[in-house]
Structures are given as structure tokens and as C-alpha cells.
Structure 1
């Protein structure tokens, strides 16, 4: 069974000179504030829809530097077996389909990235060239979903990455307790309904704002030609329609004074190493320094580290 994590390649990537060395230095700088468990990386990552068909996940540089532990969910047996085979010492992968805790029918499609617990909407698909065939249902399988708040293996979530073809809102609604201490969420959001009754960006945004998160940046956007314009058509670039995007939400920076020291340190790590968001990371470092959790020189040391990366 596939819990698809997107149908269009194109992850978020910044070329960085020696990213491992940068990440290691930042981990050392922030170590006094990240309050991780002894012997365990400071950041707990949960990846729902972990099959990396879009390339490396955004947390890969942090994982490579030993800065996070990943708990991934992938109910498709071949993809799960491959993830387990390639897993490092700080990765574990589980076969659950995460959702609202109820039984559903998984719609299998001609292109695996379209597989969803929701039914494709033929009328909406017809607006986009090739989509009716790409999302053609080829089979259905029963699946029992698990609520995020009910999964015993999850001890904590600092950073959630999720991409499950329209099922994201149900996960957020059934995971409010688990997400209460999280500082960052990367989620796919839909602008064009590919599935019947699919929640769109507006629905997801309202829920995440209610949980204390705000949009920080677009990680990627995906557009597609409106039919009948085809890929070879000279009008193709001028016929694009916004379909979906990956969006990074963070716990509202206006409330940094309410964060624990650990939340500030972990958000700084995620913002800088995973997304190269130096402005957000710097605000966290400044707050930690003002509290005395980091030494007074930490903000300037961070600025120097960020400038070195820019120079590279």
C-alpha cells in the first residue's frame, strides 16, 4: 500500500560548501541550549510519507551531522523495506498509515504518487493536461489508519514533515497533543482540489494557526499546464496553473519569549541547517543569549558562521 509523498520532483536545496562541517559547528554552538536526552540527537523528526521519491528530505543535512533522530512512516511494503535497509543508526521506519484513526480505502493510481485515501476528482483533473491518466484509479485496498496522538513509538516531535496527498489535515487534527511542543512543520498544501472533498491550503492554514504555527516560507511550488495546452506547446510556460506547494510552518516567532530554551535551540538548528533561514535562527540565538542560556558572544559567532557559508 502506498502513502504517497508527492507526484512532482523538486525538493528544496541550497548548495553549501561543506554543509556537514557547518552543521557540526552549529550543533556545538547551540549544544548548551538544545537539552537533548543523553546519548540521543537533540532534534526529534517525524516523517509521514517517508518514501523519498522527491529526493533527499530537508532534514538530511541535520541527520548526516548526527543532529536528529528520524521516525518515519511508510505503509507501502517495498518502500518500507528499502527505507529499513538503508537506515542509519538514528533512523527507524514503521508501517503505519497515519490519519484520523479510522478505516479507509486507499485509492491506487496509475502513477504511484497520486495514491490517496481520497477519491480523485475527475472533473478537477480534466483541467490539467495528463492528470486524468496519471491519477486513474487502478485498484483499491482497505487500510486502517493510526492517529498521531495514539502512536506509542512517538515520544516527542520537534519537526514534522508530511506529504500524503490530501490527508494532512486529518493528521494535524488527530495530533494536537503530539504537536504541542513541535517547533516546525513542513507540509504539502493543495491549491487545486485533485481529490473529492480534499482540504486545501485554507483549511490547513486555519488548523495550524490555531495550533500556534505560522507560514515561514515556501519550500517548493508546483504548477501545471491547463488543458488543452500540452508540454510541447509554445504557450506552455504561460498556461501554468498553481496546483500545490510544500510550505514550512514554524511556531510563531512573535512568541519566542514563551519558548523553552530547548525549543529555541532546536528551531535554530532546523531553520539554519534544513532551510538556510539565518534570520529565524539568529532571532532564536539572540533570545537564548539574552536569557543567559548561551554566552553573550553567541549571536556574533552565529553571524560569522552564516557569513562563512554565504562566502562559500
Structure 2
């Protein structure tokens, strides 16, 4: 039977947790490349009244449009003009023919001109659709400066998908990061833009900041313009083809590991762990979500919080029952 759960329009534990959290609690999301935030399906599975989103966009006119649309839809989405970076400075932005292809790093056309974009029906040479068209000068700000001007910000989850600027943005938000429980960041395996950070750079930075790598989603493969054969058009081909150039890395904090290593646990409040359970579920880490609930129950028992532990046990049991019912 089709339900909102089998069609991924909602998630079981997230719905239960949304009803359990205090009336003022919100799933607070920071989107570093915010033009598509209003249509992002990941945020739409949450109860809209439970989501607070902060987005950043260099185009002031677009910010005005986004804020108006969010207000018209009754969403607590707030957009701010400006480009995020690691410092307050002026950077050159390299515009691109391809929407979303611009970057603060110059395009490496020696590599990208060899690419072929393709799907099951069509193929497009990179030289026809993905090339620099001009430059702009952008004034940048940092997440820490933005948060200081607001009097602080408690962010639960960060999405940074900004064509190479991910590491700079993270470095400019070091006072925010300790309370962040999850991050999705664009990661690159090739130098599509000159001197852009690679997956290894972002992975090392996030691991040092206390995050654990969980998944790689949105895999982006690229064909070759010099090939007369378009691989994705071949019948019966294994669906992953070409060179993997980019993806999105999903990282979460892990209170279980922190406890095992005797590290500081002050950031893992009951509310934060429950939100971590929800974000884990939404990003496909259902088993980790249930592992967290089991750990949380025992952790609360160890602190003498028997009533809260019983509440978590009931939450987990209800979630498990609903998940198992989908197997029938």
C-alpha cells in the first residue's frame, strides 16, 4: 500500500520526533547556496511549522524574491544578501553559461572541455554549454560574522553546495560548527576549477572538527567529448558510467563514539540527539537513527533520567513497529 512513507514524502521517526519536541524547537538549517532551498525535497518532508532555514544568495533582487515567496507560503525561511567565504574580503566570481556553473575559482577548461554531459536520451558537449562568460566582484562575509551580528545562531544542519567554496565557508563558521550535528557538502574528485579543494581536503577538515563520514549521494559522472560512443545510451549498461567528478558528502556527529573516547558531550542535548536521529533518517541512515535511540535510552538511564529514558524507549518502539509494518 502506498503511503507518504513509502513514497518518501515523510519519515516515520521524524514525524514522531516533530510531535515530541518542545513547541519552540525547530529543525534549523543553514543553506549556503540557497536558490533551490524552497524546492529542496529533503526539507519538505519535515512539518513546515518545525523548520527554520537561513539562506545566502549574492543577488540582492533574488533574495527579495525568495523572502517574498517564503512569506507567501508561510515558511520560516530567511534569506540574506551576500556571498559566504572564509574571510570578509572581495573575491572574483567567474560567471558561466551553465546555470549553477559559476565559481569563485576559475574554470579549468583544459579538463572540462574534454567532457560530455549525457542522459539516456541526449548528449551535450561541455564546450557548448559549460564555459566562462565573464566576471563579477563580490563582497564576502563569513558565517561567524553573520552570526555575531544576529547575536548568535544555533544551527542543526548545514548544506554547502557552492562550486568549490565549501571549505572556505566552513572555515568562516568555526564558532557555529560545534553545535552543528550534520553537514552535506559538495565534494570534488577532479580539478574542474583551478585550485579548488578536493574531497580529501573537506573530509580531513570535517573529521578534525568531530564529524563522521556517512554517505556519498548525488554522484555526478562525466563522459568524454572525444568518444563517438555515448555510454549512457547503450542498452543494459550498468547505470553508473563515466568518470566520477563530484558528489555530495553527508557527515554526522556521533555521540556514541564521543562517549567511547571520553570526549566532551555537552553539545549532545536531548533535543540535539533527537534532531540528529531525524536528519539521519531523512538522509537514509535509518539503522544509525535506531542505534542512536537505543544509545540515548541507555545514556539517560545512566544519568538517572528514567522518565526521559522510558519516553525514548516508547518512541523507538513505535517507530520500529511502523517500520516493520511496511514489510508486511
Which category describes the TM-score, using the shorter chain as reference length? 0.7 to 0.9
| 1:278 Cα deviation from its structure 2 partner | 1.5
The question of whether the paired residues in 1 share the 8 Å contact of 2:12 and 2:322 is answered with no
- Retained in 2: the 8 A contact 1:51–1:74? yes
Q: Shift in Å at residue 177 of structure 1? A: 1.4
Alignment root-mean-square deviation, CA: 2.7
1: CA distance, partners of 2:229 / 2:246: 19
Q: Does 1:42 align with 2:52?
A: no
Match of 1:25 among 13, 16, 27: 16
Distance in structure 2 (CA, Å) of the matches to 1:82 and 1:184: 28
Q: Aligned partners of 1:57, 1:50: CA distance in 2, in Å?
A: 13
TM-score normalised to structure 2 length: 0.79
> Normalising to structure 1: TM-score of the pair?
0.83
Give yes or no for the alignment of 1:131 onto 2:118. Answer: no
1:230–1:142 CA distance, 2 compared to 1 (3 A):
farther
C-alpha distance after superposition, 1:62-100 (max 9, x if no partner): 253x33211111122454333222213321111121112
**Equivalent of residue 86 in structure 1, options 69, 93, 97:** 69
Q: Distance in 1 between matches of 2:185 and 2:38?
A: 14
1:247 aligns with 2:249: yes
Cα contact 2:12–2:319 (8 A) shared by 1: no
Instruction: Say whether the 8 Å CA contact 2:293–2:316 is kept in structure 1.
Output: yes
Q: Which has the higher contact order (CA 8 A, sep 6+)?
A: 1
1:282 aligned residue? 290
Q: Which structure would you say has the larger Rg?
A: 2
Alignment of 1:72-111 (within 5 A): 72-87=55-70, 88-101=74-87, 102-111=89-98
Listed one character per residue, the Cα deviations across residues 89-134 of structure 1 (whole Å, up to 9, x for unaligned) are 3211111211122210111111121111110011121231223443
Gaps of 5+ in 1: 1-13
Secondary structure of 2:184's match?
strand
Change (3 A) 1:211 1:21: closer
How far, CA to CA, are the matches of 2:324 and 2:13 in structure 1? 11
Look up the SS of the partner of 1:85 in the other structure.
helix
Give per-residue Cα distances to partners, 1:9-54, cap 9 Å, x unaligned: xxxxx8536627874333224x2xxxx6xx5343211011011189
Matches within 5 A, 1:216-235: 216-229=214-227, 232=230
Aligned with residue 211 of structure 2, among 213, 222, 227: 213
When residues 53 and 161 of structure 1 are mapped into structure 2, their CA distance, relative to the original with a 3 A threshold, is closer
1:139–1:170 Cα change, 3 Å: same
Compared with structure 1, are the counterparts of its residues 266 and 207 closer, same or farther at alpha carbon in structure 2 (3 Å cutoff)?
same
Q: Take 1:124 and 1:270, find their aligned partners in 2: how far apart are those partners?
A: 36
Q: Which residue of 2 aligns with 1:11?
A: none
- Offset of residue 226 of structure 1: 2.1
Q: Is the 8 A contact 1:221 1:246 kept in 2?
A: yes
Q: Deviations over 1:170-222 (max 9, x none)?
A: 11112121111110001110111110101010111000001011111122201
- Counterpart for residue 261 of structure 1: 270
- Show CA shifts across 1:250-271 (max 9, x none): 1135435433322211101211
Partner of 1:144: 139
Q: Provide the residue aligned with 1:271 in structure 2.
A: 280
1:225–1:95 distance in 2 versus 1, CA, 3 Å = same
Q: Answer yes or no: is 1:304 the counterpart of 2:321.
A: yes
CA distance in 2, matches of 1:74, 1:97: 6
Q: 1:230 to 1:79 in 2, by over 3 A?
A: farther
